[in-house]
Structure 1
Amino acid sequence: MANAAELAARQALLETAGHTAPIRALARRIHEATGRPVPDPDPLDGGVEARLLLLLETPGPRMSHEHAIVSRDKSGGTGANLRRFLGAAGIARADTLIWNAVPWIIHAPGALNRAPRMAELRAGLDFLPPLLGLLPRLRVAVLAGRFAAAAEPAIRAARAALPVLAMPHPSPTYVCTSPAIPARIAAVLDEAAALLRATPA
């Protein structure tokens, strides 16, 4: 979604995508509670039918404050890495939902990237159980980065039997630091793919 036409087409899809409607409604609830913009889920992903939740940290500073969508198709290095790693693992797009531990945009327009504050993270994780309640087919959660890893207790409290895997964040900032980082991401996503293959669709 590197240009306005692609973003507009994806937004138009959202208007008729029933599988994302409950998650969009939750996003509106979060917006009303926080006063902050909350991106919608990508209608090309699995929505409430997702079997894999990929939890990132927070929407990045490049994200538009209006009509934003959480997507692997965003321009930039993180989106490119997500596409590459998920594709290499053979994880079907319809099986995935990409979300953030802090689901709202924390950056002021034009601001540089920053990590979430702990208060923001705690507040964001309060909305994770309602999200999990919308995902009856969920089979595995993958937590990307150290802030997303903080979601593990909340996930285990809500869905005790759900496998929870942790991997490094796919941002180029981390991926380029050591060959061990992409290897770890690939290994975790391969494990997630194996779990999906082992359970009924």
Structure 2
Amino acid sequence: MTVFQKRLAAPLADPAVLAARRAALARPHMQPLAHFAGMLREQTGRAVPDADPADGGTAARLLLLLETPGPSMPVTGFVSSDNPTPTSANLRRFLGDAGVARADLLIWNTVPFFIHAPGATNRSPRAAECAAGLALLPPLLDLLPQLAVAVLAGRFARLAMPALQAARPGMPVLAMPHPSPVYTCTDPALPRRIVAVLTEAAGLLPARRGATV
């Protein structure tokens, strides 16, 4: 299967799936996060993708923090491993290989709003954009009462480590390479490192009540 075919096979490339996910933003585990994203859209005047209702929402115990919404993300309006992009395809595979349960997961961006002009190529966030994104982390964390571990993907996401450690003292915060093919295709060791970090993060989650061994 070619990269293009993999992108078409992504769940959110299916209009019916996409419509169902948008409707699911009204579910209890998503309502606070959908309200938060809507508030950010109003405050910044920029597009802000929603978290994926197929993930854990406010019940998430593992926060995976990426860098910025990609230029193609307006197609779905979600920050998700199910987006029809090569980065999301990688992320689906890595999360699956690491055994991360979707019910435990919330994927978000360090800079949660779009920084790209329509049709523009991806770029790194500017200092002011990074600062604005980091300032929005504490109110996000307030919506995640069960959060137990955070994983920072990429060098800009690692800038969030002090803010996360200040907001949740003692919470493990791990760093991994960004899952974009721009990076993972340059070094065959990078996918293994990503899976190792995600596996470690999953192992740090406390057992759920009522779980059997």
TM-score by length of 2: 0.89
Q: Does 1:12 align with 2:39?
A: no
Task: Look up the match of 2:69.
Answer: 59
Q: How far apart are residue 110 of structure 1 and its match?
A: 1.4
The aligned length equals 198
1:121-132 map, 5 Å:
121-132=130-141
Conserved? CA contact 2:138–2:167, under 8 Å: yes
Residue 146 in structure 1 maps to residue 155 in structure 2? yes
State how 1:15-34 maps to structure 2 within 5 Å: 15=26, 17-34=27-44
Question: How far did residue 152 of structure 1 move?
Answer: 0.3
Moved more, 18-27 or 147-156: 18-27
Q: Distance in 2 between matches of 1:124 and 1:175?
A: 25
Q: CA shift at 1:166, angstroms?
A: 0.2
5+ residue gaps, structure 1: none
Normalising by structure 1, we get a TM-score of 0.94
CA contact 2:24–2:30 (8 Å) conserved in 1 = no
- Provide the alpha-carbon RMSD of the alignment: 1.3
Structure 2 unaligned blocks of 5 or more: 1-11
Matches within 5 A, 1:16-165: 17-64=27-74, 68-165=77-174
CA drift at 1:55: 0.2
Identity of paired residues, percent? 63
CA displacement at 1:200 relative to structure 2: 4.0
CA distance in structure 1 between the aligned counterparts of 2:127 and 2:191, rounded to whole angstroms: 27
Aligned partner letter, 1:169: H
- Partners of 2:182 and 2:15 lie apart in 1 by 26
Shift of 1:199: 4.4
User: Any idea what SS the aligned residue of 1:150 has?
Assistant: helix
